[in-house]
Amino acid sequence: MKKIIVLFFLAVTMVLSIMQKSFGQLCPTADFTHTSGVCNGGTLDIAPAATCAGFTGVLNTGTYIDWYIYDNGITNDAGTYSYTVAPIDEYPLDPANLTNVNFDLLCDPLSVASTSYYPNETCGIITVTLFGFIYDYDKDDDADLIAEYKPECPVIRFDFSIYPAPFTAVATDGACDLGAMVEFQSADGTVCACNFGPAPVLPYCTLAAGDVVNSAPLNYSFLVADYAALLGVSATDIAACAYTDITGTALADCPSCICPPPSCIQRCIGEDIPVSSVATTPNPALTTLFVLTDDAGVILQTSTGADFSAATLIEGDTHYIYAINYDGMAAIPAVGGTIAAIRTSADCIDVSEPCRIIMICCAGAGAFPATDIENINFPHGH
């Protein structure tokens, strides 16, 4: 009986020896965890779980784990890629798609510097994939004296989400009828988001350009919460990243232009101004007042239809004639007042664009009628 037992144990030993030569060591329990969300410039961290066990590697014998990053020369995102270990696969595995980052590890932590492979300078999250394969120094199925990977052991895969580098605000000031805008650009210059401001309206023309300015500044912002919303994560997920609130102001100013000369440019002293076209006639239901001003806008003469006297006008001086729709119950503006005061008066309903008159020396003399004014317009209200 004892002899039979001895023979049985010898047979079991021989079977185990044959199996070890054929299959090497048994598969270890390769349990690891990873930090899935990684800030740009951070590290890919893998840690052994409490249940990780069974690696037998000692001095180039036994089992280890080798870690590879997916890298096909275009992306580190493995997507649908997978690799099946063949019975006689040796180091390195699939060099067209996999790059070894560390080898001969046991239940050890792994940290891979992200900037070595994949700075994320885009607007969104990119994925980086790591694979772990079990290597057995005691396995040499093709008898070429080179150890092999174990096809019977599970392949480990971890996908890491790399958050983008912080954005930069590139603001463009606005102008008349053009609102300010700001682009929030990624590190590679891609536009990730935009803010647009309202367009400032062109003010009335004035006798000096820029006397009036309409402004519509754009107070813009891109907050940490906006990063989270754009990336589809929570603010907690990206709290460790270098994101800060981006705020600023882009200007949009529209200064008044100098009132353009109308068709009546030069008139001789005392010369009548012929009627050629009246773009918009005064409202006949309202009192229409004509005023003659000097270059500074001071009223020299007023009329409800009678001709202005040219006797006091001086050669070379510039004068302006305005047509005004005025409240008939109000007092007529007095000589010595200003067109600016008329514009701001509660009784003023509308003021035309001015007719600019430069007096030159010509033959003849007399007066020119207030109503003979070319291109009287009421475009804006007062």
Flag residues of the chain having pLDDT under 70.
Answer: 1-25, 115, 259-287, 304-306, 308, 310-317, 325-332, 344-382
37 & 136 share domain:
yes
Q: Which residues pair with 267 in a beta bridge?
A: 359
Using an 8 Å Cβ cutoff, are 335 and 290 in contact? no
In a domain, 260, yes or no: no
Do 339 and 308 belong together in one domain? yes
Query: Each residue of 229-269: pLDDT tens digit?
Result: 999 999 999 999 999 999 999 999 999 877 655 434 444 44
For residue 218, what are the domain limits?
168-255
Q: What are phi and psi of 277, to 5 degrees?
A: -160, 145
Q: What is the pLDDT of residue 282?
A: 54
Question: CA geometry: angle at 275 spanning 263 and 359, to 5°?
Answer: 55
Assess whether the previous peptide bond of 333 is cis (omega < 30° from 0).
no
- Nearest residue to 65 via CA among 33, 98, 106: 106
Tell me, yes or no, whether 239 and 222 share the same domain: yes
143 in the same domain as 26: yes
Q: Are residues 276 and 189 in the same domain?
A: no
User: 49 with 111, same domain?
Assistant: yes
**Do 210 and 278 sit in the same domain of this protein?**
no
Q: At 268, is the secondary structure helix, strand, or coil?
A: strand
CATH code: domain of residue 86: 2.60.40
Model pTM? 0.61
**Of 334, 277, 270, which Cα lies nearest the Cα of 302?**
334
Question: Is residue 141 located within the same domain as residue 53?
Answer: yes
pLDDT of the residue at 291: 75
Residues 32 and 91 in one domain: yes
Q: Cα separation of 354 and 376, whole Å?
A: 7
Strand partners, 158: 130
What's the pLDDT score for residue 326? 63
Q: Which residues pair with 53 in a beta bridge?
A: 29
pLDDT in tens, 156-210: 999 999 999 999 999 999 999 899 999 999 999 999 999 999 999 888 777 788 8
Q: Is residue 307 part of a domain?
A: yes
- Cβ pair 29, 54 in contact under 8 A: yes
**Count: domains in the chain:** 3
- Residue 341: its pLDDT value, please? 77
